[in-house]
Amino acid sequence: MAIGIIVPDRDTTPLKQAIQNKIPDVPVWVYPSIPDNSKVEMLVVWKQPKAILGAFPNLKLVSSLGAGVEHLLHDPHLPKGVPITRIVDPQLSLSMQRHVLLSVLHFHKRWGDYALQQSRQQWRVPQPPERKVRVGILGVGALGQAVGSYLLQAGFDVLGYSRTRKAQTIFPVWDAQSHALTAFAKQINVLVCLLPNTSQTQGILSASLFQALPVGSCLINVGRGVQLVESDLLQALEQGQLAQAYLDVFEQEPLPSSHPFWRHPQIFVTPHSASITDQQQAAKIIADNFRRLQLGQPLLFAVDRAVGY
């Protein structure tokens, strides 16, 4: 019985160590140094190589190392019937809360204008000096709820939009059964995308949605790159429908050096760094789920494969 870690894009020594400290009697192996695939009962996975998930005959559980799970669900080698879990953690939420608050404040306090003015040694107070902001949170899951609450506490108006009806949010949430997405867009001027990547959310950030937003709105995409129709964003910025976009995720990552987003004055690019899993925190959830698996207890943060998150 062993745990395998397949995360080729980062150093997972702290994760291995922290899991090992919690479950000292179970070996924790890091890909590509997995001596015996048949002993691995649980995998922790992020950006896995092609076909690897099919190579573990006794797999009983797969955990994503992040909040997202589409890298698992879209992998044809993921064995059927093996449960999937993900990381939901206050540290991950706090990081996302701060990233989105900073983006909202940057737009609200017009810091993009100041950066431009400073490059020209220009002393000018923009009019109005602060943009009025009403934030819409598209996707009210664990991160969406955390971000919406944080912005509300920072004094911003917040409205959420969700596929299903949500109870227990401290800000109002419209659901897709009762309101059209375009009706929601008309109520807000800062759109924060925190949706999971499913077949229903791909391409959702498109011209029809941008047209429904008030002129001069702002887009913050911290969901997934495939949710944005990139050419529609460029057009909406050109037309003035959108004034600013803060993008952390892209259709192709790393963003190719020739991509127009890099040099666009109204686009602020971050390298998928809004909220990166803390390995110590993740180890607690992973070790806990491993124990639950052994005891046949319900798993934490289990993913519904049919729904896609």
Three-state SS annotation for 63-98: EECCCCCHHHHCCCCCCCCCCEECCCCHHHHHHHHH
Which residue's CB atom is positioned nearest to ligand GLV? 66
- Crossing angle of helices 90-108 and 142-153, in 10° steps, is 50
Q: What are phi and psi of 43, to 5 degrees?
A: -115, 145
Encoded one letter per residue, x for contact with ligand GLV by CB under 6 A and - for no contact, window 268-287 reads ---------x----------
Q: Is the CB of 68 or the CB of 139 nearer to ligand GLV?
A: 68
Under the criterion CB under 6 A, does residue 138 sit at the interface with ligand GLV?
Answer: no
Stretch that binds ligand GLV, among 65-73, 129-137, 208-216, 290-298 (CB under 6 A): 65-73
CB of 191 to ligand GLV, least distance (A): 18
CB of 67 to ligand GLV, least distance (A): 4
Q: Is the CB of 99 or the CB of 110 nearer to ligand GLV?
A: 99
Cis check: omega of the bond before 35, within 30 degrees of 0: no
Are 168 and 224 a contacting pair, CB within 8 Å?
A: no
Round to whole Å and give the CA distance between 171 and 71: 31
Please give the size of the binding site for ligand GLV, defined by CB under 6 A: 4
Under the criterion CB under 6 A, does residue 67 sit at the interface with ligand GLV?
Answer: yes
Under the criterion CB under 6 A, does residue 223 sit at the interface with ligand GLV?
Answer: no
CB of 279 to ligand GLV, least distance (A): 12
Q: Is the CB of 26 or the CB of 274 nearer to ligand GLV?
A: 274
Catalytic residue numbers, as ranges: 224, 272
CB of 66 to ligand GLV, least distance (A): 2
Under the criterion CB under 6 A, does residue 96 sit at the interface with ligand GLV?
Answer: no
Q: Is the CB of 26 or the CB of 303 nearer to ligand GLV?
A: 303
| Residues 75/224/275/297 CA torsion (nearest 10 deg) | -40
* 281-284 long-range contacts, CB within 8 A, separation 24+: 281/87, 281/89, 281/90, 281/91, 281/92, 282/15, 282/44, 282/65, 282/87, 282/89, 283/14, 283/15, 283/18, 283/19, 283/21, 283/22, 284/18, 284/22
| Residues 270/274/279/284 CA torsion (nearest 10 deg) | -170
Are 159 and 188 a contacting pair, CB within 8 Å?
A: yes
Q: Is the CB of 162 or the CB of 277 nearer to ligand GLV?
A: 277
* Residue of 66, 112, 139, 225 that binds ligand GLV (CB under 6 A): 66
Under the criterion CB under 6 A, does residue 68 sit at the interface with ligand GLV?
Answer: yes
Stretch that binds ligand GLV, among 62-70, 98-106, 184-192, 233-241 (CB under 6 A): 62-70
Pair of tokens at residue 68: 């997202």
CB of 212 to ligand GLV, least distance (A): 27
Residue numbers at the binding site for ligand GLV (CB under 6 A): 66-68, 277
